[in-house]
Amino acid sequence: MQQAIAIIDSGVGGITVAKEIMRQLPQEKIVYFGDSARSPYGPRKPEEITRFMMQIVRYLMRFQPKLLVIACNTATAVALEQVRAVVSIPVVGVICPGARAAVKKTKSGVIGVIGTECTVRSQAYDEALKDLSPKLQVLSQACPRFVPLVEHGDFHSSHALQAVRESLAPLHQQAQGKSMDCLILGCTHYPFLQGAISGVMGSGVELINSAEETARETSTVLHHHGQLAKSWEQPDHHFLCSGNPVLFQRIAQEWLNANIQVTPVVWHSPKYV
Ligand code: DGL
């Protein structure tokens, strides 16, 4: 049996990371878990998000994955170390890869970060960026309206565009006269809105998405452990979703440009353990 890479997100956002892993590592099997029933994670407390992560990680262990990708910035910010402490397989988060991608691109040294309330409050990007380059200036803005739009498949409506415009207005204010040249999409759902975000930010600001660098790190870690899949047969991916599987399937298929089957997962306790 081919061991899979397990990928976790609060919903469909991690599909943006899964797509890049599929592109860079086409021989790898993926088991994806989207916790859409409890999305968004952004407004929740760190302890609650950590508890959800532990529950999902326990659940996914039945598939005996060889590596775990926490394809959620919010969960990476608050639970990466706790997850690493309880599993014996490598765990890759999305924040350090996102920070690395931005540091490679910026020329001005002024980097914007947009993410959920929890991610922005945690200052995980500020720390990761300043660890890489202490002189960087980081401007952060929470955009709590974005994840619900994406979870409903609403990327192009006038309502979505207005939400993007209004949510980014405070960042524009902060950035005035500061030559910000990169904006980290610090939530894996945001690439779904990248057309609108880019339209509002203008051509002078490059949007940075952590997917490519996260896939590269996944590949490096698997290589290091001698665990890259050797078979060149088409892998049989597995998508699991705790919320509406039909909606999840529609949004994921559109992004992946491929047909997928989605298995619904119903948490047994109404309190979700
Ligand atoms: N995709 C998650 C992230 O990267 C979204 C979190 C949420 O559900 O609010 O942060």
Return the CATH number at 225.
3.40.50.1860
Span 257-271, pLDDT tens digits: 999 999 999 976 554
Record the pTM.
0.96
Domain presence at residue 24: yes
Mutate which of 41, 78, 194 for ligand 1? The one with the most ligand atoms within 8 Å of its CB, which is 41
Residue 272 lies in a domain: no
| Distance (Å) from CA 11 to ligand 1 centroid | 8
Q: Are 203 and 225 members of one domain?
A: no
Q: Which atom of ligand 1 is nearest to the CA of 39?
A: 8
pLDDT-based confidence at residue 82 (cuts at 50, 70, 90): very high
CA distances from 11 to 67, 127, 165, 249 (A): 19, 26, 23, 11
In a domain, 122, yes or no: yes
Query: Is 100 found in the same domain as 80?
Result: no
Q: Are residues 158 and 120 in the same domain?
A: yes
Mean pLDDT, residues 70-76 taken together: 98
Residue 101 confidence (pLDDT) above 90: yes
| Statement to judge: residues 88 and 191 lie in one domain | no
82 and 69 in a common domain: yes
Average pLDDT, the chain: 95
- pLDDT at 75 (0 to 100): 98
Q: Do 86 and 219 belong together in one domain?
A: yes
Domain boundary (190, 211, 232) is at 211
**pLDDT-based confidence at 234, cuts 50/70/90?**
confident
pLDDT digits (tens, 9 = 90+) for 22-41: 999 999 999 999 999 999 99
The total number of structural domains in the chain stands at: 2
Q: What pLDDT sits at residue 269?
A: 54
- For residues 73 and 201, state if they share a domain: no
**Percent of residues in the chain assigned helix, strand, coil, to nearest 5:** 50, 15, 35
Task: Judge if 138 and 218 occupy the same domain.
Answer: no
For every residue of 112-162, DSSP letters joined together read EEEE-HHHHHHTHHHHHHHHH-TT-EEEEEE-TTHHHHHHTT-SSSHHHHH
Neighbour count for residue 31 (Cβ, 10 Å): 21
226: CA distance to ligand 1 center in Å?
A: 31
pLDDT, tens only, 204-219:
999 999 999 999 999 9
Taking 80 as the threshold, does the pLDDT of residue 172 lie above it? yes
- Burial 162-196, CB ≥16 within 10 A → b, else e: ebbeebbeebbeebeeeebbbbbbbbbbbbbbbeb
Q: Which of 196, 211, 226 is the last residue of a domain?
A: 211
3-state SS assignment for residue 32 = strand
Residue 271 within a domain: no
- Kindly state whether residues 187 and 256 are assigned to the same domain: no
For residue 232, the model assigns a pLDDT of 73
Q: Note the pLDDT of residue 175.
A: 93
**What local confidence, expressed as pLDDT, does residue 123 receive?**
98
Residue 273 has pLDDT above 50, yes or no: no
pLDDT of 170 reads: 97
User: Would you place residue 233 in the very low, low, confident or very high pLDDT band (cuts 50, 70, 90)?
Assistant: confident
- Please give the average per-residue pLDDT across 39-51, as a whole number: 97
Per-residue pLDDT, averaged over 127-156, amounts to 97
Checking if the pLDDT of 231 tops 80, the result is no
Contact 193, 166 (CB under 8 A): no
Do 121 and 199 share a domain, yes or no? yes
Judge if 53 and 130 occupy the same domain: no
Give the Å distance between the CA of 117 and the centre of ligand 1. Answer: 10
pLDDT of residue 267: 79
The pair of structure tokens assigned to 179 is 């030559």
Structural domain that includes position 52: 5-93+212-264
Within-domain flag for 273: no
Residue 181 lies inside a defined structural domain of this protein: yes
- Calculate mean pLDDT across residues 88-108: 97
Has residue 204 been placed in a domain? yes
Catalytic (active-site) positions:
72, 187
Whether residues 99 and 70 fall in one domain: no
Q: Is the CB of 214 under 6 A from ligand 1?
A: no
Residue 3 has pLDDT above 70, yes or no: yes
Is 163 within the bounds of a domain?
yes
